[in-house]
Amino acid sequence: MSEDLNEAVLEESEPEDVTGEHSEQLEVDPFAELAAERDQITDALTRLQADFENFRRRSNRELSEASSRGASAVVLSLLPVLDALDLAAAHLGESAEASAEGLALVQARSLLLDSLAKQGLERLDGAPVVFDPQIHDAVMHAEGEGEPTVVEVMRAGYRLGELVIRPAMVRVEG
């Protein structure tokens, strides 16, 4: 077994060693040697340049992604607040607007949702819709007829721009 586990990890290939041990002394053309070295260096430089080009292109892309990620980190940290407000509103139900406290809560919640919507936050809470794991996370499932369908959204999901920052937690049938 230990035979299998041996592995030479780093390649050590030094062509100079080979020529050095060769029995007959080969005439080495200094120009050929220099040309080979030049080609090697040119190759290395080209690779580096290509790497750098790709790197720069990606850095630009990542810069814009990073700023949206920064926003998404803030929004993500606010989601539990939204969830709590959702749950509170759901708990109060129809009676929410009957009391001053309930009304305040409902208004605070819609204000927060509106503000975040202006930042590009899209709420994913439609039901019934066809189950789509890109935006839905199924935590309950019942066998049923036809296509898997979201029958209840237990916790809303959110999309910020293109990115699903949290899938909706759903109950699925079918």
Which of 19, 42, 54, 115 binds other proteins (CB under 8 A)? It is: 54
Q: Which residue stretch of 18-26, 100-108, 110-118, 141-149 sits at the interface with other proteins (rule: CB under 8 A)?
A: 141-149
Write out the binding residues for other proteins, residues 109-128 only, by CB under 8 A: none
Q: What is the C-alpha separation between 76 and 158, in angstroms, rounded?
A: 9
Q: Tell me the closest approach of the beta carbon of residue 99 to other proteins, in angstroms.
A: 14
Q: Which residue stretch of 30-38, 101-109, 120-128, 139-147 sits at the interface with other proteins (rule: CB under 8 A)?
A: 139-147
Interface with other proteins, residue 67, by CB under 8 A: no
Helical spans, DSSP H, in 10-29: 15-21
Which CB atom, from 116 or from 165, has the smaller least distance to other proteins? Answer: 165
Interface with other proteins, residue 70, by CB under 8 A: no
Q: What is the C-alpha separation between 92 and 102, in angstroms, rounded?
A: 7
Q: Which of 119, 92, 122 is nearest to 106 (CA)?
A: 92
Which CB atom, from 121 or from 148, has the smaller least distance to other proteins? Answer: 148
Q: What is the C-alpha separation between 162 and 151, in angstroms, rounded?
A: 25
Binding-site size, other proteins (CB under 8 A): 48
DSSP 40-84: HHHHHHHHHHHHHHHHHHHHHHHHHHHHHHHHHHHHHHHHHHHHH
